[in-house]
Every structure is written in C-alpha cells, then in structure tokens.
Amino acid sequence: MSDFPYPGLRPFHRYETDIFFGREAATDQLIEKLGQTRFMAVVGPSGCGKSSLVRTGLLAGLEAGFLATAGVHWRIAELRPGNHPFARLAEALLVDKAIGPEYTLPFAEPAEAIAFLHAQLRRGPLSLVEVLRETTLPEQTNLLIVVDQFEEIFRYYYQGAANEAAAFVALLLTSSQLSARPIQVYVVITMRSDFIGDCALFYDLPEAINQGLFLTPRLTREQLREAIEAPANVFDGEIEPGLINRLLNDAGNDPDQLPLLQHALMRMWHLAQAENSPTMVLTIQHYEAIGGLAEALSRHADEAYAELNPLEQKIAEILFCNLTDRSKGLQYTRRPAPLEAVALQANVSWQQVAQVVEIFRQPGRNFLTPVVGSPLTPESILDISHESLIRQWQRLNQWTKAEAEAAELYQRLEDSAGRWQEQRAELWSGIELEIALTWRQQHQPTANWAKRYGEAEGKYFDLAMQFLDNSKAKQQEELKQAELARQRQAKQELHQAKLKAKALLAGKTATWALLGLIIAITLALWGYWERDKALLAKQQAAQSESARTHSLFELQLTHAALLARDEDYAAAKVILKATRELDNQIPTDRRYARNLVAWFCELRGEAPQQTYEGAGAQLLTVAISPDGQTLAAAGEKGTLVLFDVATGRPRQYLQRHSKSVLAALFHPQQPWLISAGKDQRIIIWSLTTGKPILEWQTPDQISALALSPDGTQLASGGTDNHITLWDSRTGQISKEFKIEGKTVDINDLAFDPQGRWLVSATSDNTATLWDLVNLKKIRTFNGHTSEIWGVTFDSTGTFLATSSDDKSIRLWNVATGETLRVLRGHQNTVFKAYFIDIDNGHYLISASQDRTLRIWDTDSGTNLRVLQGHTAGVTGLVIWKNSIFSSSNDGQIMRWQAVLPDQTVVKLPNEPASTAIAPDGKHIAVGFANGTLQWYSLPAVQLRWENKQAHAKDIQRLNFNATGNLLASASFDNTAKLWQVRENQLTEQQVFKGHQDAIYALAFSPDSRVLATASYDSQFGLFTIGSHQQRFHKAHDGLLYSVNFDLSGTRLLTAGEDGYTRLWNIDKEPPVLLQTFPKAQDQVMWANFSPDNQQVATGGRDWLVHVYSVKDNQLRHRLIGHEQTILRTSFTPDAQQMVTVSGDATVRFWDLSNDRELFTLSLPTSSAEGSPLWDFDFRCIGQDCWIAVPLTQGKLVLYQLKAIYK
C-alpha cells in the first residue's frame, strides 16, 4: 500500500499499484507482447511514463500470473547500465528477488559473489545462460531482466567503451534467444525514442527491437483524467472539476506532461495537507500558488537552492552540471556520477556535497537519488530523478548551457593546442584569445574538469593551458613592441623639437620664447601619451565587448538552428529576430548564415493570419459556410458559436445542446447549420434566425456527420454501432448500416464527390467503404495500428486519406484498397486531414493533438510546412479557397494561408536528369533522360523553347559559361554540345565528339574558350570552342565523374571512381599532375573549387563532404550527415557555407565556421524507389539565390532564397 497519492518526479515503485491509474490497457498490451517475444523494447519520448509502466504495470502483472503461458514464478533483476553495465547486471542478478539466494550459497561474502559473477558474465554472449544452467533453481522459473534507461549504453559506447558496450548488448540478446532450462530468460529494456537511430551501432539489436518494439502510448484525455483524480480518491481526497480541466488543458502535448503533473499534484497535496482541513480538496488556488504546470517545478527547485549558502550554491551548480550530459544529438540527458567524483570536481569534501544532496532529496522534493533514507557514502551514485527537471528548471538550463559553451571552447582550445604542438596551427590572438582568457578567469577550469570533456580523459589539459599562456604572452609581447615603437616615435619628435629650440637660442631675445616652446612641446607629448593610453584602453574594452556580442550571436544562431531541426520554427524565428539587433557588430558572413536559417524557418514554418476568440470553451470541430463568410465552432458544454470570417468576431451563440457538440456542418444549398453531439440529438439551425428548424433524438451520442454532395442525405454515426442516413429535409431515416460482429465507435464519415459511396472511420483501427445503392460493404482499409479519427476523399474520389491515433496519415487507392503512402511526422494523434490544391499542385493538410497543422506532398509523403500557433491540440479543420481554418482545445479558431512560399514545383513531361540556372537568374535549362532539352523563364516558370532530339540519350549535365550566352550539354550518347543562348530559344552551335563512352560532366574555362569534359572512358577532354582542336588525357582508373576549372583557367580539377581527386596543369601537353588529394573511402562523384580557389570540396559514395586546402592538401572540414551518395557540392558566394545534394533526397546547408549542419531541406520525393535525383544547381544573383533540383519522378523543384546576402 502506498503512503502518498502522487510520487512526484520519480517513477512509480512496483508496489504502488493502488495509485497507478490510466495505464491498464497499456499494461495488458505489454504483457501480451512479452508473451510473443522474450526481448521487448519499451520505447517512447522522455516523460511518457516508460519506467513506471514497466515497474508498476508489467512487473506487477507478471507476478500476479497474467502471462499464463509463463506461469507465476518470476525472478526479476532491475538495473540501469550506467558506465559499468556488467557490474550493474551482476549486482541486479544477486538480489533476493533474482537468483541471489541460490547463487551466493558457496560464497562467504556477498562482495566475493558479485566479483565472481561479474567475471563470469564478461566471458561471452553465452555466459549468462551457462551461469543459470549451473545454478540450482526451481522448475518453471522465469528470469526477467529489466534494463531501464537503456540509452545510457550509447553514451558508454561513445565514451570509448565500444567493445564492452557491444558485448553487453550481445549478452542480453543471446540470453533472451536461448533456453537456459529449467529457467527462461526474458529481457525488457526501456529507451527514449530519440535514441532509436543509435541502435544500429550494435549487431542484431535493430532487428530484435523491430520484433519486440512496444511504443509507449500517450494517455488519452480520459486516461489522464483518471491518473489525476483516482489517486486522490484512494486517499479520501477530491480535486475540483475546474482544476482537473485546467490540468488537462495545460498538460496539452508537453513531452513532460506526466512527471510535471505528478510533481504539481504532489505539491498541491502537501499544500492542502498543511491547511489541516477536515476534507482534502485540491483547488485552483493551490494550483496557482505553486505556479501552475509551467513554473511549479522550476519554482520548487529554486526554493531548495535558496536554502543553500553561497558555497553550497556553487557546489549545487557543479553537482547538477556533473549529473547532466549532452548527447551527440545535442539533447540533455541524465548522467549518474559517484558522489566522490562530484566532490573532486568541486574541490570540497564528499560530506559537503552530501549536505547539498540532502537538501534536494528531502521528502516532497525527490529531485535527486538515492532517495531519502538511503545513507550517502563517497561511492554513492547520484542521479537526477527525472529528465524533466533538466528541461524545466530554468536555473539548471542556464548552468547547462554555460557548461556546454565552456566545454566546446575547451575542446576547440585543446584541438588548437594539439595542432600548434604539431606546428599545424598558430597561437590564438585578438577576439578569440580574449574570449578564452575571459572564460578561464571566470570558469577556472581544472584538470579534473577537463577529464570529462577533453581527449584521453584530460591528458592534454596542461598543453591547452600552456597554449593559452603562450598565446597571451605573445599578444602581450606584440603590444609591448607596439608601445616601444610609439615611444621611439615620441623620442624622435622630442629630438626634433630640441633642434628647433637650439636654433632659437641663437637669438638672445628668444630665451623666454624657447622656454615656452619647450613647455608646450612637453605638454603636447604628455597629451599624446595619455591620449594613446586612453585609445589603447578603449580599443581593448571594445574588443572585449565585441567578443561577448559575437559569442551571444553565435549562441543564438546555434539555438535557432537546433529549434528549426526540431521543427519548432516559431521559437526559432523569435530568436533569429533578436539577433538582428546585433547586426552592426557582427561580421557579414555570420549574418549571412543567420539569414539562411531565417529563410528556412519562413519556408517551413507558418504563423496564423487571424485568430478568432470568444467561444468560451474547448473546441472540437469547425465548419465554414459555402459562401465563406461564416464559421461555426463547436465544443464542450454545448458550445456552438457563429463567427464572422472577415472581422473575426462572434456573430451568434446557438444554445440548445446540453452536452459537448462533436460535429457540425453547413448545408451546401440551404442556409442551414447541422449539429450533433453527446446529448443524443441532431439539430438543424436556421442561419437567418439562429433558431432550430428541425430537431430529433438519436439512440446514442453522435460523433460524426456528413452531407451528400446534393445535400439531400445526412449521414450520422456514433457509439451505437450504426451508420444512419437521414432525409435532411424531414429528419426521417432513409437507410441504415449496422457494423456486425464487434462494438466500435464511428469517429468520422465522408461521402465521395459523386455521392455513390460513404466511408466511415472507426475505433477498431479501420475505415470502411459502403455502397449507398446496394447498402453493403465494399471493402475495409486495414493498416493503422490505432484508432482512426478522420477520413476524407480527394476531389475526384480516386484517393482516400485517413488520420489516426497512431500519429500517421495513410493515403489509399479507393478502387483497390492499397496503401499508397504513409505520412509520418506528427508527434501525437492526427484528428483530421483534407486534400487541398496549392498553385495547381495536390497536397494534404492535417491537424493533430501535437498543436500543429502540416502540409504534405501527396506524391512523396514529404512534409513541406508546419503551421504553429495553437497552444493545445488541433481538433478541427476546414478549407475554403486558399484559407485554412483550425479549431483547438485552446478555445480558438485560427486562419492560415494555404501557400508554399519561395518554392515552386514544375511538372515535367518526362524524367529529368540535369539542370542549370542562367547567371542572370532569368532562365533555367532542363535536360531529360530521353535526350530532350527544355528552356524555361524565371521567376514565372514558363516553357520558352524545347528540342526533343537535342541528344540521342540521357543529358547528364548542363553548364553555362560565365556570361550566360553559351550553354553546354553532356550526354550518355558520348557527345557534348554547345548552344547559343538567346532570350526565348537555344541554337545548336557546335558538337564535340571523341570520347569512347558516356560524358558525365563538363565545365567552361573562365574565358569561355575551352570546354572540359569528364567521361566514363577515364579521360577528360579539352575542346577549343569555335575550332576543331581537341585533346584527351586519362586522369583516373575507372569512370571519371567531375571536372572544374580554377579561376586562372590553367588548372583543372578532376574526380572519379577510383576515389581520387586530382589537380592538373592543362597548359602543358600532355597535362601535368600537380596535386593529388587524400583518397576517399569510395567513389568521388563531385569536386569543385571555392570561389577564391583556396579550397576544394569533394563528395561521393562515402556519404561525406571533405574540404581540403589547395595550398597544403590538409583537410579543413569534414561534414557528416547525409545518408546516401552525395551527388554535388557547392560553396556559397562568400565560401563560408556549403550546399550539398544527395541521393537521400535532401539538400543540406553547412556552416564551415563550425562544420555543423545549418538545416536540411527535404525534397518532395522519396529515396525508397530508386534514385530520386542526379543533379542540382545553386546560383546566387545579388542578394538572392536559387536552388533547382530535377526529380526523376518528373518534377523540377525550385527554391528562391530571398535577401540572403543583404
């Protein structure tokens, strides 16, 4: 029996089943899943309740015998792997509830048994099975190993223990696959969903997780209500209904909703207890007193912090920074650490750290573990009780950000020191040195601190500090020499003054004048020295301030890029806007990087155009009148409101329903509104009078309504297993469908555009198509793994879209029932989806409980745009012309523009292969796989010219000369052609022959006199334009993929199948090899110069971008992120960023100042069906840039990047 209704931040204990509510269904599913596989991965986002579900749901259910096939005899070992997974497993196995009593019999001391078992487990993947076979255990006994926080094994892997981590994973997998009779081994791991990708580090783990995956479901609103209210009832308490609704609304889609709710409820319960009232009732006043869900946790932690003295507060900062770690994905996670290690970092005794820990683990706080009551020793492992504290405690956010910045600076310092020692880098100076010196003075790093962040556990800390000291000494020496130079100049000026004075002494009458002159000179020199000193001090202060400003800008830019990567474009825009206040102090290249991220956020994220307020309740659906002038919003407590679309004001409140209104729609021909809901009535309202004109009762609640295209038939469905067709003029039943064999809720209905069929979405995870003429089922659409909430036809009735509780949308072929696409991206239930036409393209708009709407490309399933603005789940959706209207649990309707700014999709007649944008940005050429060449105008994309026989085969590459009056085409027909460019047409001017195989690439010399070609015959060709001169040279072994000239036109860069990139002097005959860059791991598909010719970038089948210095062949940048072959690379005009395109169907922008990805542009295509593209072009004209990508599915995608270089 529990002693308190709410556990706060910590997970539920196994014995707390009496207060564990809302998870009964999930527990049953877990047990069923474990019966199907002996290895199960319980996966979900942080804060979704994975650990509690396993401990209090699964374990209690197993011990109660709910897994009948396995019996009731369970031995359970629970552990977190930490930094010693084998040791943790040995300790977990030897507890009394596991195999401890039997295994430890031969040993005199427990420590001896643990050490021996630890050594046994490390022998190999079969070691646990062998241990169990050698241990005498009762018949029909099962061993369950629960590995909580499994993601810790990935951190252990990245810290340099890859082999041991792999051995531990292999042990778990093998143990769950083999029989250790008389005992069977089951393994359950819990893991955050954002670490799924890391599972590929280990052999067989992805396959095992795929087979045994259990995605932790989010609690429904009713389940969450039960989890809030029922524990209070167990302890004879109550919660005000208004507070329950407030908690449900405030929880929304926050990933921390469960721990935050439990913590807030725990706090409110303590407040209510302190009042000594005869009845325990939690109220809104209690909720506001703790700061609401948004601030309760942060305030509570601050209260604990305020109890500390200044020294203890510093210890607390070091403590929590040590217990927090930033993963490779830049996410903050828990990092357990021994108490003595924290004391060593803080340079205090372990007892002093223990005193601080006690403050944060007091009863009612539970911020740290071990829990209160467990004695603390130097070996005690400290941990943050839940990651929600890391995300929600504002003070800890500031500490961790500062710690991360310090760590990054130190790592750069250590790297520079290492390269300086190898004579590959200079000492630091200027702003960079100023920042580092300020950091050292404020942070005071130690060797112990550097062990955590440096290479080889801080081995190079002394070198880094020496590097910093030498840098400081060198700068001081330079300043000293500058001062001496100024002094020498002053002495020279004084000497000149003395010479003038001697000349004056020749005249006796000039004595006093001479004295005055000397005084004046002395004063002038003193003023000069003082002014120089003031200027120097001012300059140093300005440098320091400039460094701080630059650091702030970089921090904000990084933060915004990370937010954009997480699709929080609204928050990213706010941060990027704030950076513009610093623009006059920031170098232009950094502003350009910011402008790129800002453009991406505008491309992907949309804010609402208008907000409609005044409904006064949570809204569940929205409808719009046929003339687009009136909105109807329906929701809880019988709410039904008419809004004026233009003004946004409520026009009329329709009062008749006594319970929540779940469905509402306008009649297509009559001035009527039809509504229905939980009160089991359908009402037809007159829009003229605002009064009901027809009303009738239904057997059960109505969740869905639909009108036939001609408005004569009204379909309704709800919780009574029936779909009923009513005569909309009389309210009489005309037809009825009964769903046989099961009890289901009907959540949505839709007629096809011709009125032949009706489709229903139901709670059994299916949609069903009904024949309205023959009154029979045509087919069922199966595929979703959870309840379907929405269903809709496209405008032709050919396709169907369903939206589900499984967070996905599925597109179906109505005629065959085949799933065409699965659209994934929403983070919660998808309630509605509608087809929409934008700029003559076919798209889909969806609304979700995750507070967003999304626009999707239906051909590829790519998410193109995220609409953000609602503060709660988006429950309703309706479209009128180019406007989108959404309703939400936040009580608001929002209007959005149905636009895709700065992007154009051009449908092409065949498969395109290549493209090139003209230097003036007014035209674009497209080459096709069938040899066709097309010429379009920009920015209004119109076909101006076409030649269907430009080449006999695939046009693989196109290239303009510098002035744009010539276009060259390379083809698989072994030829290249030169085209004269005129306004609206191209004229063939010259054909280049001589290659023995396909020509893959080509390039003009800067003066347009020579055309270079790269061929599959291993040769590059050099053709003189306007003559028959040509020469060929074998450059590589195997296919040649790339050629590019330098600015002089005398050097040619080549790359090919052999993995090499080479630089040639082509002024010589034969061409002379000047330079070979380091060999890549696989084929190099592209190589090009930076605009200043100082660097060379390469990309290819190793999925990496390498940037080398032309001067010394050294690697300067290594860009990691693409997931398929990199086809082309391009520098931005200032050479500070790179743009790359890959077969993974993405264009990526990279920041070369830190080798990080600025953003990823997902193209509206798929890499699952062969190569989605072969080429792209990136061209900047003035302030603006263009990206053009020909997609093999028959599209040309254009992006216009505006005002980037402003």
3-state secondary structure 831-865: EEEEEEEECCEEEEEEEECCCEEEEEECCCCCEEE
Residue 566 pLDDT = 80
612-651 residue pLDDT tens: 999 988 999 999 999 999 999 999 989 999 999 999 999 9
Q: Which pLDDT band holds residue 329 (cuts at 50, 70, 90)?
A: very low
Q: Is there a contact between 190 and 147 (Cβ–Cβ < 8 Å)? A: yes
Q: Which CATH number fits domain 610-901: 3.90.550.10, 2.70.70.10, 2.130.10.10, 1.20.140.10?
A: 2.130.10.10
Average pLDDT over residues 497-508: 58
CATH code given to domain 307-392: 1.10.10
Per DSSP (E only), the strands in 449-602 are none
pLDDT at 897: 93
Level-2 CATH architecture, domain 23-218: 3-Layer(aba) Sandwich (3.40)
Residues 391-401: tens digit of each pLDDT: 888 899 888 88
pLDDT tens string 509-558: 444 554 555 555 555 555 555 565 555 555 655 566 776 677 678 868 87
Predicted local confidence at residue 506, as pLDDT: 54
pLDDT confidence of 693, banded at 50, 70, 90?
very high
Cα radius of gyration rounded to whole Å, the chain: 36
Report long-range pairs for 376-379 (Cβ below 8 Å, ≥24 apart): 376/339, 377/339, 378/338, 378/339, 378/340, 378/343, 378/350, 379/338, 379/339, 379/340
The C-alpha atoms of residue 891 and residue 622 are separated, in whole angstroms, by: 11
Q: What is the number of H-type helices and E-type strands within the chain? A: 26, 69
pLDDT surpasses 90 at 330:
no
Residue 1165 clears pLDDT 80, i.e. is over it: yes
Distance in angstroms (rounded) separating the CA atoms of residues 1192 and 1177: 15
- DSSP 8-state secondary structure symbol assigned to residue 909: S
Taking the C-alpha atoms of residue 1031 and residue 1018, their distance in angstroms, rounded to an integer, is: 14
0.75 exceeded by pTM: no
Cβ(143)–Cβ(102) under 8 Å?
A: no
Read off the pLDDT of each residue in 601-617 and give the average, rounded to a whole number.
93
- The percent of residues in the chain predicted with pLDDT above 70, rounded, is 94
Taking only the tens place, the pLDDT of each residue in 155-208 is 888 877 889 999 999 999 999 987 656 678 999 999 987 777 778 788 888 888
Question: Does residue 431 register a pLDDT over 90?
Answer: no
The label of the residue with tokens 């292969």 reads: 913
Q: Average the pLDDT over 1026-1042 and give the result.
A: 95
Determine the average pLDDT of the residues in 129-148. 89
837-847 confidence digits (pLDDT tens): 887 778 999 99
Q: What is the mean pLDDT of residues 884-902?
A: 94
Q: What is the spatial distance between Cα 46 and Cα 1048, in angstroms, rounded to a whole number?
A: 56
Who wins on pLDDT, 1099 or 262? 1099
Q: What is the DSSP letter of 486?
A: H
